[in-house]
Amino acid sequence: MEGPTLLLSLLFWLAVCMLSLAPRKLVLGLDPNNPGFISIDCGALNAYPNNDLQIYYETDDGYIDSGVSKQVSSDGMGDGVRASAKTLREFPDGFRNCYTIPPTTTDEGHGKYLIRASFLYDNYDNQNRTPKFNLFIGVNYWTTVDFPDPGSYVHKEIIHVVPPTADAIQVCLVNTGNGTPFISSLELRQLADTMYLSDDQFPTLALYIRTDMGYTADESMFRHPSDSYDRFWDVDDMDNDGTLSSAWNGTSPPTLDRTNDAYKVPIEVLGTFVTVESSYNLSLSWKAHVPGASKWISYLHFAEMENLSSPREFTIYSNDAFIKTISLDYLVPMTVPTNQFTSDIGFKFKFVANSLSSASSVPPIINAVELYYLLDISTRPTDLNDVNAMKGTKRAYNVTNKSWQGDPCVPTNFTWDGVKCSTENSPRITSLNLSSYGLKGKIADSLTNLTALTSLDLSSNQLTGPIPELLAKLPNLNILNLSGNNLTGPIPESLQKKKYDGKLELSVAGNPNLRLEDSGKLKKKRSSFVVPVIAAGSGLVVILSIALAIIWRFKITKGKGQEGTIKLRNRPFTFNEVLKITDNFKTVIGKGGFGKVYLGTLANGTNVAVKMLSQTSKQGRKEFQAEAELLMIVHHRNLVSLVGYCDDAKNMALIYELMVNGNLRQHLSDQSCNAQVLTWNERLRITIDAAQGLDYLHNGCKPPIIHRDLKTLNILLNESRQAKIADFGLSKAFAAENDSSISTRPAGTPGYLDPEYQSSGSLNRKSDVYSFGVILLELITGHPAMIRSASGSIHILHWATPIIERGDIHSIVDPRLDGKFSVNSAWKMVEIAMSCVQTTAVKRPDISCVLAELKDCWAIETASERSQMMGSSKSRSMGSFQMTSMAVDCDSLPFAR
Ligand SMILES: *[C@@H]1O[C@H](CO)[C@@H](O)[C@H](O)[C@H]1NC(C)=O
Ligand SMILES: *[C@@H]1O[C@H](CO)[C@@H](O)[C@H](O)[C@H]1NC(C)=O
Ligand SMILES: *[C@@H]1O[C@H](CO)[C@@H](O)[C@H](O)[C@H]1NC(C)=O
Ligand SMILES: *[C@@H]1O[C@H](CO)[C@@H](O)[C@H](O)[C@H]1NC(C)=O
Ligand SMILES: *[C@@H]1O[C@H](CO)[C@@H](O)[C@H](O)[C@H]1NC(C)=O
Ligand SMILES: *[C@@H]1O[C@H](CO)[C@@H](O)[C@H](O)[C@H]1NC(C)=O
Ligand SMILES: *[C@@H]1O[C@H](CO)[C@@H](O)[C@H](O)[C@H]1NC(C)=O
Ligand SMILES: *[C@@H]1O[C@H](CO)[C@@H](O)[C@H](O)[C@H]1NC(C)=O
Ligand SMILES: *[C@@H]1O[C@H](CO)[C@@H](O)[C@H](O)[C@H]1NC(C)=O
C-alpha cells in the first residue's frame, strides 16, 4: 500500500471504530467516509465495515419491523463483495413487507438517489427452489425478482428522485405466490443533482445495463471505492464490431480533467474502451426486452486516452437517429445522454468518424455505456399527513397486523386492514376501524391528525384515559364509536355538541368511568350574559339594544321600587348543565324553526322543554337571543315561561316550562280514533287563553310586542289544557305602530301572514290579529290554515267563506265535534274570526276587543249549556249572515289583568 492510501485507510478505520462506539442511533445512515450512503445488510446481526469496499454496513434494525433473519449456507464470503449477501431477511408473513428509509440529505428529504436491492438465494432455506416475487418502490411496481439459478447474485437498481414533499423511501417486497420473498442488502447512494435526468422531471430510471466497455478481465466489476457513487460497472459482454483497447496498462493511471464532469465515471472504467481499426464506423447493439418498459434512455461515456495531434471527432447515432457530433479532448471525460426513445426490441448505437477531419482521421471510441428504462411511478402515495398519522398510530399501539406495511391505502389491494381510503390520486384515509384490535393505552394523538376521517371505530379495546377534545375538530367525522373501552373523564362538550347537532353519531356506551361533565370546569366557564352578545357582532348589538330598551322601559313602566341595576332573574345555565338536564339530549320532543326541542329535568325534578338553537342558522341565533331577552321579563299565565337559558357563545338553549299537552295543531289534526277531541268548550277556553296572552303582548307591554309568527303550532297546552303562546323568536318591540323600520325582514308562516304585509312590508299588531283570526278558524273547523287537497292547497279563509255565506254552520264546524256545540256561540266565533281576517288591517279589531267578544261568546256557551244544546241549530237561515256588517263593535279598553 502506498503512503496516501495507507493514511486514508487508517483514517477510515479510525472513524469506523469511533462510530462503532457511538450510540446506535447515530450510526443510522451515517457511513463516516461516505455521507451520502446508506448500506443495509438485511438480516445481519451486527453492523460492520467492509474492508474491500470501504463501506460501513448497518443492520436493518429500525428500517423494518417484519420478517426473519436468515443466513446462506455458503462459507467463505468473508470480506469480499458478497459479504453483505451472507445474511438475508425473509418474509414468510404478509403480502407486502416494506423497508422504510429516511433519506440521508437534510434538504427536506429532496434528492436524487441510486437505490440498489440485492438478492442471493444460495439455498438458504434448503428448499433448493428459488422464489419469484415483486419489488415495489413506494406504491409503484419496480420489477420482478427472479433467479436464473440458485447461486445468482441478483441486483436491482434504480435512480430515484425523492420529491420535496416525500419524507421517506419505501422499498417493498410483494409476495406473488411464487415463493417467500427475501432480500440480502439494500443500498442507497445519494447522487449529485446534475447527474442523469434533470430533477425537475422527477423520473425514476431503472437500470438495464451498465457496462465498462473494453474491460473483459475475469475479475468482478468495479464499484466503490473506485466509483465514488458505488455504481456497479459490469465487464463488457456487449455485441460490438470494435476491438478492445486500453490506454492504461494498470500501472499508474493518468489523471483526468474532471472540471466539468458530473458523472465521475471511474478512471478504471474510462481507461478501457472499444474502437475500430479497419472501418471508421463503430456500432453496438443489444437485444433488450423488459415487460412494461417502453421508454428508454442511455448515457454514453467517453474519454480520450491518447494524446493525439488533433482531437477525435465523430457522430453518434441511436437506432439510426442522429444524436450528436462530438470532439474529444485528451483526458477530458464526456457524457452524452441520448434522447428518450421508444423500443421494445433492442438498440443499435453507431459512432461514425467525422469525414471533415478525415485527413487526420482517427476512429471513434466508446468507453462506457449505461442503459435505463423509465419506470411508471404515476401512482401517488397516500397523503403524507395521513401516512404519518397512521405510522404514529401503529407505533402508539404497537399494531403488528401483517397488512400494516408500506403505504396505508395504495395499491388498493394492499390497503391496511381496517383502513378505507378515498380514491383521489393522493388518497386520504376516510375510515379507520380498529374495533377489537387489542388497543391499549390512551387514544393516540396521531388519530386526531387524520383530518379526512368520516368514521372512526375504536370500540371493544382496552383504551383508557380521556377522550381528546381534538376529535371534535375532525371536520368530516360523523361516526365515532368509543364504546366498550375503559375511558375516563368527561365527554368533551364539543363532541356532545356535534352529536345533538346531528353531525356526529357518537357511541360511548360501556365506558363505566366516563362522565358527562367536568364540574370543576363548569363553574369557571359560566359566562356573563352581556359580554358574549356584544362580542358576537353588531347585528346582535342592535338586538341587545332593543332588548335593553325593553328592559329599561319595563322597569320604568312597572317601577315599583325596582329601579337600579338591571338584574336578570334567571341564572344562565352552562352547556354542561344543559347536557345533564337533557340526559345527554336523550329525548327529542319537538323541532322548532331554529332547532330541536328536548325533554329535560331540573335538579328539583321539574320537567322542562329545552330548545336548542341549531348552530347553522345565524339569523335564528339573533332571534333566539331576542327571545331570551324578552322572555326574561315577559311573564303572563298565557305565555310559555322561560325557566332559564344557556348562552355560552357557542351553544344557545332556552329552557321553558314543559307544556305536556303539545301544541294546538296536534290536537286539531289528530285523526286517531282514541284521540281526545277538543270539546267546543275547551276550544273556547283556548281562544280566550291565547287572546289573553296576545293582549298582554300588545297592550300590557310598553312598548308593545308583536309576535309576528302566531300559529296553532305556537299555541301550547299544559297538563290542564290551558293554552299558552310560545315562540317569541320573531317578536320585536316597536315604538310606534306605523314605524316600518322595525319590520325589516320577512316573518311569519304562510297561511297566517297578514295579506297587507305584502304591500306595506310591515308587520304591526293587526298582523297578529289576522293570524289570530286564522287560528280561530282552525279551532272552529279543525282544518289547518292551508287545506291540502288533490287540486292543490287552499287557504282556510277561501274554503270557509262560501260556506259561511251559505249560512251552513254545520259544514263549517269540525265534524269531529259530532254536532256537540252551541250554534249561537259557533256563529259568534265565526263572526269574530271573520272580523280578524279582514284584508284591510285598519278594519280588524284590536285583540282586546276580540278578547271581550270571546268572553261574550263564552257566556253564550255556558248559558246554552244549561239549555238543550242541539235545539236551535237551524235557527239561522241562509243569507242572514252579512259579512260586511260584521265588524266587531268595540270601544272597550285593553283588557286589564
Ligand atoms: C501498454 O502495454 C502495451 C504492451 O505492453 C504497450 O505497447 C503500451 O505502450 C502500453 N501503454 C501505456 C500507456 O503504457
Ligand atoms: C458508416 O456509416 C455511415 C452513416 O451511416 C455510412 O454512410 C457509411 O457508408 C458507413 N461506412 C461504412 C464503411 O460502413
Ligand atoms: C501531448 O503531446 C504533446 C506533444 O505531442 C505534448 O506537448 C503534451 O504535453 C502532451 N500532453 C499531455 C497532457 O501529456
Ligand atoms: C410490540 O409487539 C411485539 C410483538 O407482539 C412485542 O414483541 C413488543 O414487545 C411490543 N412492543 C411494545 C412497545 O409493546
Ligand atoms: C389483521 O389483518 C388481517 C388481514 O391482513 C385480518 O384478517 C385480521 O383480522 C387482522 N387482525 C386483527 C387482530 O385485527
Ligand atoms: C393486486 O392487484 C394487481 C392488479 O390489480 C394484481 O396483479 C395482483 O395480483 C394483486 N395482488 C394481490 C396480492 O392480490
Ligand atoms: C368495524 O368493524 C366491526 C367488525 O370488525 C363492525 O362490526 C363494525 O360495524 C365496524 N364499524 C364501522 C363503523 O363500520
Ligand atoms: C400532527 O400533524 C402535525 C403537522 O403535520 C405534526 O406537527 C404533529 O406532530 C402531528 N401530531 C401527532 C400527534 O402526530
Ligand atoms: C378501568 O380503569 C379503572 C381506573 O381508571 C380501573 O380501576 C378499572 O379496573 C378498569 N376497568 C377495567 C375493566 O379494566
Q: Is 78 exposed, middle or buried (0-12, 13-18, 19+ CB in 10 A)?
A: exposed
pLDDT at 808: 85
Q: Is 268 exposed, middle or buried (0-12, 13-18, 19+ CB in 10 A)?
A: middle
Tens digits of residue pLDDT in 513-552: 887 654 334 333 333 333 333 333 333 333 333 333 333 3
What's the whole-number mean pLDDT along residues 697-722? 84
**Joined grid coordinates for residue 896:** 286589564
Q: In what order do the strands lie in the sheet with 642-647?
A: 572-573, 642-647, 652-657, 607-612, 596-601, 588-591
What is the number of the ligand 1 atom nearest to the C-alpha of 305?
A: 13
Report the first-to-last Cα separation within the chain, whole angstroms: 118
Whether residue 349 has pLDDT greater than 80: yes
Please answer whether residues 167 and 122 qualify as being in contact, where contact means their C-beta atoms are separated by less than 8 angstroms. Answer: no
pLDDT band at 673 (very low <50, low <70, confident <90, very high): low
Q: Is the CB of 679 under 6 A from ligand 4?
A: no
CB within 8 A of 796, min separation 6: which ones? 751, 774, 777, 778, 781, 783, 784, 785, 786, 787
Whether residue 61 has pLDDT greater than 70: yes
Dist. CA 244 → ligand 3 center (Å): 24
Q: Is the CB of 329 under 6 A from ligand 5?
A: no
What's the whole-number mean pLDDT along residues 305-309? 87
Dist. CA 47 → ligand 6 center (Å): 36
Whether residue 24 has pLDDT greater than 60: no
Nearest Cα residue to atom 12 of ligand 4: 398
Helix intervals (H) in 696-754: none
Please answer whether residues 723 and 690 qualify as being in contact, where contact means their C-beta atoms are separated by less than 8 angstroms. Answer: yes
pLDDT at 544: 34
Could you give the percent of the chain with pLDDT greater than 90? 38
Nearest Cα residue to atom 1 of ligand 5: 401
Query: Which secondary-structure segment (H or E) carries 795?
Result: strand 792-795
* Lowest model confidence (mean pLDDT) among 363-377, 537-551, 696-710, 775-789: 537-551
**Residue (of 834, 715, 732) closest to 780 by Cα position:** 834
| Lookup result for grid cell 361516526 | 479
Dist. CA 439 → ligand 4 center (Å): 12
- ∠ CA 354-355-356, nearest 5°, is 95
Nearest Cα residue to atom 4 of ligand 6: 413
What is the number of the ligand 8 atom nearest to the C-alpha of 445?
A: 13
Nearest Cα residue to atom 5 of ligand 9: 488
Dist. CA 248 → ligand 1 center (Å): 7
* Lowest model confidence (mean pLDDT) among 10-14, 119-123, 793-797, 826-830: 10-14
Nearest Cα residue to atom 2 of ligand 1: 249
Tell me how far apart the alpha carbons of residues 748 and 727 are, in angstroms, rounded to a whole number: 12
Q: Is the CB of 249 under 6 A from ligand 1?
A: yes
Antiparallel, parallel or unpaired: β 429-433 and 419-421: antiparallel
Catalytic, 709? Answer yes
Residue type, 670: D
The residue to mutate among 64, 93, 400, 404, having the most atoms of ligand 4 within 8 angstroms of its beta carbon, is 400
Residue of 505 and 562 predicted with greater confidence = 505
Binding-site residue numbers are 611
Q: Which residues share a beta bridge with 789?
A: 792
The residue to mutate among 486, 487, 511, 514, having the most atoms of ligand 9 within 8 angstroms of its beta carbon, is 486
CB within 8 A of 744, min separation 6: which ones? none
Nearest Cα residue to atom 3 of ligand 8: 449
Antiparallel, parallel or unpaired: β 505-507 and 479-481: parallel
**Joined grid coordinates for residue 298:** 442511455
The CA-atom distances, in angstroms, between 784 and each of 279, 592, 692, 751, 815 are: 107, 18, 22, 9, 14
Dist. CA 81 → ligand 1 center (Å): 30
> Count of alpha carbons within 13 Å of 614, Cβ hemisphere only?
12
Ligand of minimum distance to the alpha carbon of 96: 6
Whether residue 202 has pLDDT greater than 50: yes
**Domains within the chain, CATH numbers bracketed:** 37-193 (2.60.120.260), 207-374 (2.60.120), 384-515 (3.80.10.10), 571-657 (3.30.200.20), 663-866 (1.10.510.10)
CB within 8 A of 712, min separation 6: which ones? 663, 664, 665, 668, 775, 778, 784, 785
Tell me how far apart the alpha carbons of residues 174 and 96 are, in angstroms, rounded to a whole number: 5
Tens digits of residue pLDDT in 592-633: 666 788 899 888 778 888 888 765 555 555 656 656 666 666
Please answer whether residues 113 and 188 qualify as being in contact, where contact means their C-beta atoms are separated by less than 8 angstroms. Answer: yes
| Lookup result for grid cell 466497455 | 213
Residues with CB under 6 A from ligand 7: 433, 435, 455, 457, 479, 481
SS (H, E, C) 108-158: CCCEEEEEEEEEECCCCCCCCCCCEEEEEECCEEEEEECCCCCCCEEEEEE
Ligand of minimum distance to the alpha carbon of 311: 3
Binding-site residue numbers for ATP are 611
pLDDT at 1: 38
Whether residue 688 has pLDDT greater than 50: yes
Whether residue 408 has pLDDT greater than 50: yes
**CA dihedral sign, ordered 508, 510, 511, 515:** positive
Tell me how far apart the alpha carbons of residues 404 and 396 are, in angstroms, rounded to a whole number: 13
Please answer whether residues 386 and 408 qualify as being in contact, where contact means their C-beta atoms are separated by less than 8 angstroms. Answer: yes
Q: Is the CB of 400 under 6 A from ligand 4?
A: yes
- Phi then psi for 252, rounded to 5 degrees? -125, 115
Whether residue 235 has pLDDT greater than 70: yes
**Joined grid coordinates for residue 670:** 289528530
Ligand of minimum distance to the alpha carbon of 304: 3
pLDDT at 247: 56
Dist. CA 275 → ligand 2 center (Å): 15
Antiparallel, parallel or unpaired: β 786-789 and 792-795: antiparallel
Dist. CA 271 → ligand 8 center (Å): 53
pLDDT at 362: 84
Q: Is the CB of 466 under 6 A from ligand 9?
A: no
Q: Is the CB of 395 under 6 A from ligand 4?
A: no
Mean pLDDT of the chain: 79
Tell me how far apart the alpha carbons of residues 245 and 236 are, in angstroms, rounded to a whole number: 12
What's the whole-number mean pLDDT along residues 489-508? 84
Dist. CA 486 → ligand 9 center (Å): 6
What is the number of the ligand 2 atom nearest to the C-alpha of 317?
A: 5
- ∠ CA 301-303-307, nearest 5°, is 165
pLDDT at 569: 35
Cis check: omega of the bond before 411, within 30 degrees of 0: yes
- ∠ CA 120-124-127, nearest 5°, is 115
The pTM assigned to this predicted structure is 0.61
What's the whole-number mean pLDDT along residues 52-59? 92
DSSP 8-state assignment for residue 248: -
**Residue (of 483, 486, 485, 456) closest to 470 by Cα position:** 456
Ligand of minimum distance to the alpha carbon of 305: 1
pLDDT at 286: 81
Ligand of minimum distance to the alpha carbon of 468: 8
The CA-atom distances, in angstroms, between 777 and each of 497, 684, 695, 798, 813 are: 41, 12, 19, 11, 9
Q: Is the CB of 486 under 6 A from ligand 9?
A: yes
Residues with CB under 6 A from ligand 2: 279, 281, 352
| Per annotation, catalytic residue among 31, 647, 689, 709 | 709
**Joined grid coordinates for residue 806:** 251559505
pLDDT at 248: 57
> Count of alpha carbons within 13 Å of 583, Cβ hemisphere only?
12
CB within 8 A of 561, min separation 6: which ones? none
Please answer whether residues 639 and 692 qualify as being in contact, where contact means their C-beta atoms are separated by less than 8 angstroms. Answer: no
Q: Is 475 exposed, middle or buried (0-12, 13-18, 19+ CB in 10 A)?
A: exposed
**Joined grid coordinates for residue 535:** 362580542
What is the number of the ligand 3 atom nearest to the C-alpha of 330?
A: 13
pLDDT at 718: 87
Whether residue 392 has pLDDT greater than 70: yes
Quick check: helix, strand or coil at residue 539? helix
Could you give the percent of the chain with pLDDT greater than 70? 74
* Lowest model confidence (mean pLDDT) among 35-39, 162-166, 279-283, 443-447: 162-166
**CA dihedral sign, ordered 189, 194, 197, 200:** positive
Q: Which residues share a beta bridge with 770?
A: none
* Lowest model confidence (mean pLDDT) among 30-34, 309-313, 860-864, 880-884: 880-884
**Residue (of 692, 582, 553) closest to 644 by Cα position:** 582
**Joined grid coordinates for residue 890:** 268595540
Tens digits of residue pLDDT in 716-775: 998 888 899 987 655 543 333 333 334 334 467 888 888 888 777 777 889 999 999 999
Dist. CA 418 → ligand 7 center (Å): 9
* Lowest model confidence (mean pLDDT) among 181-195, 647-661, 798-812: 647-661
* Lowest model confidence (mean pLDDT) among 6-20, 415-429, 848-862: 6-20
Whether residue 270 has pLDDT greater than 80: yes
The CA-atom distances, in angstroms, between 502 and each of 479, 485, 595, 599, 646 are: 11, 24, 11, 17, 19
Tens digits of residue pLDDT in 816-839: 888 888 888 888 899 999 999 998
What is the number of the ligand 1 atom nearest to the C-alpha of 248?
A: 13
What is the number of the ligand 9 atom nearest to the C-alpha of 462?
A: 14
Residue of 273 and 625 predicted with greater confidence = 273
* Lowest model confidence (mean pLDDT) among 86-95, 295-304, 776-785, 853-862: 853-862
Q: Is the CB of 136 under 6 A from ligand 6?
A: no
Tell me how far apart the alpha carbons of residues 298 and 876 are, in angstroms, rounded to a whole number: 110
In terms of average pLDDT, the best of 449-458, 629-638, 653-662 is 449-458
What is the number of the ligand 9 atom nearest to the C-alpha of 512?
A: 1
- ∠ CA 107-112-114, nearest 5°, is 130
